[in-house]
Structure 1
Amino acid sequence: MKIYNSVEEFSPDFKVIFTLGTFDGVHIGHQSIIKQLNEYADKNGGESVLLTFYPHPRHVLFPDDQRLKLLSTIEERCEMLKDYGLKHFIIQEFTPEFSRIKSVNFVRDILVNTLKVHKLIIGYDHHFGRNREGNFEELVNLSSLYSYEIEKIEPQKFEGIAISSTKIRKAITEDKFEEAKNYLGHYFSFRGAVVKGKKIGKQIGYPTANIKIDNKWKLLPNDGVYAVCVNIGSKEFKGMMNIGFNPTFDSQKKSIEVHILDFNLDIYGEDLKVSVVKKIRKEKKFSSVEELKKVLKEDENKVRQLLK
């Protein structure tokens, strides 16, 4: 997959089979669009192209609103889109100036004159242009003028429910990770670097990898203890994760710690991918270290049973 950091970098010498959108989480609805792009491209001698905007438009237009957290960072999206077979990924910087482009000008100047779109395959509810004024109907109306083909994709459903990134975010904030998995087609995950911690876990028999995440917009699970799968390079391990403040030790700083089962290698500085399978319990303050160790053993048994 080729990555471009602006629409100006993209100069195609092939039929552009195109879609646009945030594609947050790259859920099964997004996967369906990519599959359709590639199938059409293969039959008609073209290549699949996705245009997305970064930062997220809401983060630019409403900078004081911190509520919208995203299922995937732009790096995670790149990785997933590559895995699902996308050929070209254009990441256009979204600015206040860009937001003021009228929808008709966006189609003419960007989709037609710059990107040279041959076929546009787009989600049923997509909006674009100034104040989100552009929609599927406008794209249809302009298609004869600019000689591009257009096709609408209806919502993908799971058990009768239309899938959206918003629904998946809600499921995660409600600790419904199996529901999120059904919509995503994979477990919700995050990436981070292993940094040095206080080594409290090691002292009580549960050494942990302390994970640092730099992206403030990344959605993370609620505080608590979780069953997780951990990827280090090409290898996957089972683990248990705690997110929170370690109240038994009166910590004032929130941390993400993962105890990888049956593992004892030094992985400081490594990049880990953590896939969240299920919440085991809420974080709790224990009256003694011995009580904590007892509960951690119970947690471990539950995790082993769940992930076996």
Structure 2
Amino acid sequence: MKYIADTTEFHIDVPTVVTLGKFDGRHRGHQKLMRKMMEIKAGFGYETAVFTFSVTPAVMVTGQRQPVLTTNLERRNNLKKTGIDWLVEYPFTEETKHMQPEEFVREVLVNRMNARAIVVGTDCGFGYRRSGNAQVLMELSGKYGYQLYVIEKEKDDRRDISSTYIREELEKGNVEKANGLLGEPYAIHGTVVHGRHMGGSVLGFPTANLIPPEIKLLPRFGVYVSRVLVDRRYYRGVTNIGRKPTIDGENPVGVETFIFDLEQNIYGHVIEVQLLSFIRPERTFASLGELKEQIGRDKETAAEYFKQHREMAKAGAE
């Protein structure tokens, strides 16, 4: 995948089919857009291109950072896995902010991205104060020589599948519901760092610790069944998300995972923790001994989950 970021001075020199949006999470609605783009690529030979902003416009306008389902790096990796040819993360400058819809279509989508086809959802918005929409794209299609495909929203029962809907479910701890909306497990990426080494030396359950970026949305604090990708291989896991209130001292919010059947030292490795099922909320225990007993029960709960979901239990290559 070719990646263009933080510049307005670029030109894609091959015809493309373009979609635009935040793409926060690769949920089933996004996957529907991607499938249509792949169909157009197969039929017309256009390369696929995603247009997004390096920082969401809402952040630049309000100054408030909303937690995201996927960081920019995670989004990039997700789109690469999807088979997208081009990803453009455009800077949201004052000039960009005040672009009228037709100017955006002409200068960015057509001239810079070489769009011969555009794929959007019914609720797309672009240009100054999101005054551009699917109808505007349709009206301009003849003038600028592209084909427009407007895709109906993917629904869960009667509700549109969206990043907002998924955030709500994660904040409740309903990770299985969120995964159903995503079409894949909710994942947290990070580099394994040294913690206080209490998992192995005191509690008897050595763990891999991640400190996620502040902008990354974490689900309800608690313990989850997880699947962990380490060096392109999957392992079963149990993950605690939170501040470890039983452990004395100031503990930053972290993601701490016991990985079944892994003996190697993975400090400094980048791993992916996929959350599969909520076990229990985070709570304070009366003693470390009580916490150790509960961790043992959590491990048993996870083992039982994997017995019931054998497709997730297999350790294997990505």
Q: Distance in 2 between matches of 1:246 and 1:116?
A: 51
Alignment of 1:260 with 2:262, yes or no, is: no
Separation in structure 2 between the aligned mates of residue 175 and residue 55 of structure 1, nearest angstrom: 27
Query: Cα RMSD over matched residues?
Result: 1.5
- Give 2:86's aligned residue: 88
User: Structure 2: where are the runs of 5+ without partners?
Assistant: 308-318
Paired amino acid for 1:89 = L
Instruction: Encode CA deviations 1:184-233: one digit per residue, 9 max, x unaligned.
Output: 110100101111111111121011111122x3211112221111111112
Structure 1: distance between partners of 2:46 and 2:249: 56
SS, match of residue 220 in structure 1: coil
Aligned mates of 2:197, 2:154 — CA distance in 1: 46
Report the counterpart of residue 293 of structure 1 in structure 2: 292
Aligned residue identity for 1:176: N
8 Å CA contact 1:60, 1:96 repeated in 2: no
Partner amino acid, structure 1, of 2:85: K
Listed as ranges, the matches of 1:193-232 within 5 Å are 193-202=191-200, 203-213=202-212, 215-232=213-230
Whether contact under 8 Å (1:10, 1:90) holds in the other structure is no
Q: Is 2:248 the partner of 1:280?
A: no
1:147 and 1:106 mapped to 2: Cα distance? Answer: 15
Report the 3-state secondary structure (helix = DSSP H, G, I; strand = E; otherwise coil) of the residue aligned with 2:216. Answer: coil
Identify the residue that residue 122 of structure 1 maps to in structure 2. Answer: 120
One-letter amino acid of the structure 1 residue matched with residue 48 of structure 2 = S
Q: Which runs of 5+ in 1 are unaligned?
A: none
Instruction: Give the structure-2-normalised TM-score.
Output: 0.91
C-alpha distance in structure 2 between counterparts of 1:244 and 1:250, whole Å: 14
Given the alignment of the two structures, is residue 108 of structure 1 paired with residue 106 of structure 2, yes or no?
A: yes
- Counterpart in 2 of 1:11? 12
Q: Is 1:54 matched with 2:92?
A: no
Q: CA deviation at 1:307?
A: 2.1
1:7–1:90 contact (8 Å) kept in structure 2: no
Q: How much does 1:158 deviate? A: 3.1
Q: How far apart are residue 293 of structure 1 and its match? A: 1.4
CA shift for structure 1 position 43: 0.9
Query: What is the CA-CA distance between 1:7 and the residue it aligns to?
Result: 5.0
Question: What CA deviation, in whole Å up to 9, does each residue of 1:214-257 have, x standing for no partner?
Answer: x3211112221111111112111111111222222223222321
Give the Cα–Cα distance (whole angstroms) in 2 for the partners of residues 260 and 90 of structure 1. Answer: 36
Task: Determine helix, strand or coil for the equivalent of 2:9.
Answer: helix
Letter in 2 for 1:3: Y
| Counterpart residue identity of residue 266, structure 1 | N
**Distance in 2 between the 1:20 and 1:10 partners?**
17
- Preserved CA contact (<8 Å) 2:228 2:237: yes
TM-score for the superposition, normalised by structure 1: 0.94
- Counterpart for residue 25 of structure 1: 25
Please give the alpha-carbon distance, in whole angstroms, between the structure 1 residues aligned to 2:119 and 2:234: 35
Shift, 1:299, TM fit:
0.8
Residues in 1 aligned to 2:93 and 2:31: alpha-carbon distance in whole angstroms: 27
- Paired position in structure 2 for 1:97: 95
Inter-partner Cα distance in structure 2 for 1:7 and 1:269? 35
Closer, same or farther in 2 for the Cα pair 1:7/1:119, shift >3 Å? farther
- How far the C-alpha of 1:155 sits from its partner, in A, is 0.5
CA-CA distance at 1:262 after TM superposition: 2.5
Moved more, 18-27 or 156-165: 156-165
* Native 8 Å contact 1:34 1:85 kept in 2: no
Query: Shift in Å at residue 97 of structure 1?
Result: 3.2
Please give the alpha-carbon distance, in whole angstroms, between the structure 1 residues aligned to 2:18 and 2:176.
31
**Aligned residues with identical type, % of pairs:** 34
Task: Provide the rounded CA distance (Å) in 1 between the counterparts of 2:256 and 2:152.
Answer: 40
Output one character per residue of 1:251-275: Cα deviation in whole Å (capped at 9) or x when no partner: 3222321111222221110111000
Three-state SS of the structure 1 residue aligned to 2:192 is: strand
CA deviation after TM superposition for structure 1 residue 114, in Å: 2.2
Structure-2 separation of matches of 1:147 and 1:222: 48
Output the amino acid matched with 1:284: R
Contact kept? 1:245, 1:251, Cα under 8 Å: no
CA distance in 2, matches of 1:158, 1:84: 22
Secondary structure at the residue paired with 1:101?
coil
Is the contact between residue 27 and residue 165 of structure 1 (CA under 8 Å) also seen in structure 2? Answer: yes
Asked if the contact 2:11/2:111 (under 8 Å) is kept, the reply is no
